[in-house]
Structure 1
Amino acid sequence: KDSKASLLSLSLDGPSWPSLPVEQVPLASLTERALCEAREEIRSTLKHVIETAMTARGACAFAVAPKAAYLRVMNARKADFHVTDSCEEWDRGYMTMRTRHTFVHEQAFVEAAHECSERTPDGRWPRGHQA
């Protein structure tokens, strides 16, 4: 079956996380259900993120939330967005800096997400990549 035609729900692995039920749904149904459940203010962003994720070259994850909710979590320090792709040149992380002033509907964001999701044998950027 075409992997782009359906999506399996996330199953969290770990001792403290309960298993989540896995439900296979058609992509159109997933998008419709997600947009129907989402707040009006994030629907456009969510639609673009779903499209980007479903056309990615490998695994990827995104969090979409209203700005006020994001700021509440960040101000309360209840989330840790640990930088995993930093170096001297990219001290805040390569992907963070590359997409910092980019909107999810822009082709530059889509290309960055696709590039980041591409699998390599060692799980690192391809040799010679600027990151």
Structure 2
Amino acid sequence: MSQQKTLPTGSDVGAFLAQVEGAARQADCARLVALMSDVAGEGPVLWGASIIGFGSYHYRYPTGHEGDAALIGFSPRKGEFSIYLMGVYFPESKDKAEALLARLGKHRMGKACLYVKRLSDIDEGVLRELMELSVREVRAHYV
């Protein structure tokens, strides 16, 4: 079985965030760190080279594949933020997640990832609700 690539590194989150270009993007990063720390109840940890995760859980799929992942997290990519919300994809949370996403503002959605260019494009209260939903669902399934 292949080795998991994205794991906590122990690297300095502050040093990583200091490299983010632009005062507005750095302010958005600080806001996301505060919001996710509050929702997850745990501080930031650098996972791999560029994901800031909050909390963690161990998963095991029916195929036997297993590993560890951040409960919620984000990555300040070049053109947009990737916000990781695995819990919004469970069948039990699908309708609630879709209703929240409809109210969120300017975004696009990937498989388990929400993409936003800047926090001013979205409703932070709705983002918080999405994070809370995701954390609740992941904890219900894996923790």
Greater helix proportion: 2
TM-score bracket, normalised by the shorter chain, equals 0.3 to 0.5
Which structure is larger by alpha-carbon Rg, 1 or 2?
Answer: 1
TM-score (norm 2): 0.41
